[in-house]
Amino acid sequence: MGPATFDTDDNVAVLLRRVMASLGDHIGHGLKDNDLTATQAHPLFLLDQGLATTMADLARELHMDPGATTRLVDRLDAKGLCRRVRTAVDRRTVTVELTDAGRLLARRVPAVACAALNHHLAGFSREEWRHLMALLQRMRHNGDAVR
């Protein structure tokens, strides 16, 4: 692919973005009764799994700038799903903790996400799924090598 043949209808990045948007829509639909979007579900899952504990961790894991992460955590905090806690060792570090309600909701996320993924992978054989995963991992590896 080169600049002369660049086309949004035949572009891996555009297609990946559309698939991610569709997955987000499905996950959001699965969580709408809980007044939660897919964007809000992701940090709850990360916190519940221990994959993030601080605002900086969340920003890094979510690939968001700190300001957007702050606004996202503000919305979750307003819903009573998490709270910020300054650490005693370094008051500049802010950890984010799930409330009991946040923890209960976070534990719904994997089932909803799996249902959305299974819907999008309908008709794929196990071999096709494995091949798709290998190709995506290779793309990720290529991207990581640039950094």
The residues, any chain, with a CB within 8 Å of residue 103's CB and separated by 6 or more, are 48
Domains observed in the chain? 8-146 (1.10.10.10)
- Of 4-13, 54-63, 82-91, the range with the lowest mean pLDDT is 4-13
Of 1, 139, 6, 112, the residue nearest 131 (C-alpha) = 139
pLDDT digits (tens, 9 = 90+) for 14-63: 999 999 999 999 999 999 999 999 999 999 999 999 999 999 999 999 99
Entry pTM:
0.84
Q: pLDDT tier at 9 (50, 70, 90 boundaries)?
A: confident
Task: Check pLDDT > 80 for residue 6.
Answer: no
In contact, 91 and 2? CB cutoff 8 Å: no
